[in-house]
Structure formats: C-alpha cells, structure tokens
Amino acid sequence: MTDVRELVRAFRASAPTDDPVAFLRARFDAGLAWVHYPAGLGGLGLPREQQAIVDEELAGTPSNDPRRIGIGLGMAAPTLLRHGTAAQKRRFLRPLWTGEELWCQLFSEPGAGSDLAGLATRAVRDGDGWRITGQKVWTSMAHRARWAILLARTDPDLPKHRGLTYFVCDMTAPGVDVRPLRQLTGEAEFNEVFLTDVFLPDDLRLGAVGEGWAVARTTLMNERVSIGGGALPRGGGLIGVLTALWTGRPDVRTAAAHDEMMRLWVAAEAARLTGVRARQQLAAGDPGPEGSAVKLAFAELAQRITGLELELRGADGLRHDDWTMRRGEAVDFEGRSPTYRWLRAKGTSIEGGTSEILRNIIAERVLGLPAEPRTDTTVPWRELPR
C-alpha cells in the first residue's frame, strides 16, 4: 500500500513555492487534492480517510479555501465524477479544485423549490447543442461563478421526473443574466439568474437526455453530506462562540441559561460525533443515510445556539454590525455580529432541502414508510397545476 505520508513529504520538498495557484495545480497533479479520487483526476484512488494525513502534512501551504469553493467541491465534483465523461472530468475537476473556477447551482426556481422536479426552465435541441430559457432563483455565488450545474426540462410531455436533463452551464455565455437578490441579513450571497436563449454545446450535457433526475439525486445527496459534514473540533463552531461568551462574561450568566447551554453543548457534541461517524462510514465505503441526520440536527442547533447567544447579550446583542448591501462571498458564522449569526441561521433549515423535506426523505427512504398519496408523478408535466 502507498505510504501517503512519504508521498506528501516528497511532494512538499519539490513543490513550487513562488505562486499559490502553481502550488495547488502541482498538488492536484500529484494526486494529493482528494486522495479518494482516481489517479489523474487529483487523487490516488485511496481510502478517503487518508486525506486527513495529507491535510495534516500540508498544513500551512497555500489553500483553496473550501468555503469559497464549497458548491464546486461538495456538489459539482462528486456529480461530475460519477456521471461525467472522461473529457468533462479532465476539463473541469482541476480548476474547480484549485479554486481558479468557482461553481454555482442553478436548480431552484420561483415555482420549484422543495418540488425541484417541477421546474420549468426549458432546454431545446439546436443543432449540436441546446438552447436554455428560464428563471432560476436563490442561486448562491452565481455572481462569482464561472460554471453552474443546471437542471432543465427537455420534454414537457413526460411525467415531471422523466423529462429532465442535467447540464453544465457556462456562466459567461450570452443570455445569462445574474441579478443580486438581497437576503434578510442585508447582504446578497444569492441571486436571481435569468437564462434567455443561452446556447450550450452538447458536450456540456451531464448524463443522458431525460436522465437529469438521477444525476440530480447524486448532487442532492452530496449536498446534505457537505452541509452537515464539516469537521469541527469538540466545542468548536457556534457552540464554541456561545461557551466563550459564557466563560468571558460572568455578568450574563443565569441559572436557566446555564442549563440550556449545557443541553445545547450535549446536542452539539452528539451532532458532531454523528458527523464523525458518517465520515467514517463514507471512508469505509458505506455512505449510509447519516448525512441527512447531521444536516437536520445542524440546522436546528444553529438556530437555538444563536438565539440563546442573543438573549444572553441583552441590549448589546441587539446591535447589528452592518446592513450595507454587500455581495457576500461565503457564510461567515464566526466572524460577524451575533445578530448576523442569528439571522443567517434561519437559512440553514431552508437551504439544501428544508427540514420538512428531509424528514419526508428519512421517513420514506430510510424508514420505508409509505409515500404521501400523489397525483403528480404519472401525468405529463405540461398538465400539472402550477
């Protein structure tokens, strides 16, 4: 078996040091980007847990900032790996991982959020490509993205899950119009995206025509793992912010708050260990449904922890840091004011599948309970009420 630690040390000794991007490219080419990916695509085909050794050995070297490239890393990459052609993998994975090209997700539409398969954006054949027309919404990072994963309808006469096709969208193509959509924190991490007769060559199609839903399910499963699955130390993240406040400010302490804080500490540690276990299962080759549990728990916790923090701070807690309309780059849970944290946490139970939808998925796919009676899965999409 390959000794990863030695490989990394050898790489470190010879890697370019002058330019961060050159370093990241070399790291990718050495197979040390994501070791569980195949050789030639930034990996070495090793068990996923070996990545920890690589990251440990390369601490302090130029980073691609996983938060900034989160959508590419967490959603686009695993989907490309599973469903992309050899050429697509070669074209997209390296600049995705180095952070030279950012990605966004053109899934949700004004009329299709939870019911994603109901979407209306059309893709129509045009010679050796496709013409895309429609409106997407709540699209995080579209204003920075070079590429997007895009789900569009290719056949409105089929039932809704069967008429969808998955594309990679060129965000610089004529007809792509990105407009900021301000959110309740005051800034704009997300956008409205208008697609007007956008031409995409057929080699930007991912998977077969009409198979878009199957491809999208890969994306959605990985989205849940990546939202819930960040590796935190014990007592880190939002619970760390709360306990630091407690330790540093004896004046805010009350008996009731103490018990609530300890409940949250226990819940946070349980959620964290569940995430650790989910990643160990993934590394052992058995992904399991734990990702949904982690995502649901994280969303609820983030809201309760930030809510308690605001209460503890009293009047001081009510001072917001900045309402200026800004184009956000990433979620900043720890860097900004308690009010920002509390407001932004309200999005955690909506983005990436609402908590209600996750409960449906758990109940039906994990526990095997019967689906709700439905009328929308067998009739042509065209005939559905919208």
Q: Which residues are catalytic?
A: 223
The minimum distance between CB 121 and ligand FAD, in angstroms, equals: 11
Residues 261-280 that bind another protein (CB under 8 A): 261-263, 265-267, 269-271, 273-274, 276-277, 280
Question: What is d(CA 52, CA 279) in angstroms, rounded to the nearest whole number?
Answer: 11
Contact 64, 98 (CB under 8 A): yes
Q: Please identify which residue in 105, 154, 303, 306 interacts with ligand FAD, judged by CB under 6 A.
A: 105
The minimum distance between CB 138 and ligand FAD, in angstroms, equals: 4
Query: What does 351 bind: another protein, ligand FAD, none (CB cut-off 5 to 8 Å by kind)?
Result: ligand FAD
Query: What does 358 bind: another protein, ligand FAD, none (CB cut-off 5 to 8 Å by kind)?
Result: another protein
Contact 204, 147 (CB under 8 A): no
Residue 68's Cβ-side half-sphere holds a number of Cα atoms within 13 Å equal to: 14
The minimum distance between CB 271 and ligand FAD, in angstroms, equals: 20
Specify the DSSP class assigned to residue 204: G
- Told to check if 363 binds another protein by CB under 8 A, we report yes
**For residue 371, how many other CB atoms are within 10 A of its CB?**
10
- Under 8 Å CB-to-CB from 108, ≥6 apart: which residues? 116, 136, 137, 138, 139
Q: Choose between 67 and 263: whose C-beta lies nearer to another protein.
A: 263
The SS3 call for residue 109 is: strand
Token digits of residue 54: 């690589």
* Stretch near another protein under the rule CB under 8 A, chosen from 79-87, 106-114, 142-150, 289-297: 289-297
Contact 241, 265 (CB under 8 A): no
Question: What is d(CA 145, CA 137) in angstroms, rounded to the nearest whole number?
Answer: 15
Straight-line distance from the first to the last Cα atom of the chain, in angstroms, rounded to the nearest whole number: 56
- Told to check if 257 binds ligand FAD by CB under 6 A, we report no
Q: Choose between 197 and 356: whose C-beta lies nearer to ligand FAD.
A: 356
Q: Please identify which residue in 179, 366, 377, 379 interacts with another protein, judged by CB under 8 A.
A: 366
Q: Concatenate the DSSP letters of all residues of 286-333 into one string.
A: ---THHHHHHHHHHHHHHHHHHHHHHHHGGGGG--S--------S--T
Q: Choose between 76 and 294: whose C-beta lies nearer to another protein.
A: 294
- Told to check if 138 binds ligand FAD by CB under 6 A, we report yes
Question: What is d(CA 200, CA 321) in angstroms, rounded to the nearest whole number?
Answer: 42
Q: Please identify which residue in 108, 218, 219, 274 interacts with ligand FAD, judged by CB under 6 A.
A: 108
- Told to check if 166 binds ligand FAD by CB under 6 A, we report no
Residues 322-351, one symbol each (x = binds ligand FAD by CB under 6 A, - = not), give -------------------------x--xx
Contacting positions for ligand FAD (CB under 6 A): 104-105, 107-108, 113-114, 138-140, 190, 347, 350-351, 353-354, 356-357, 360
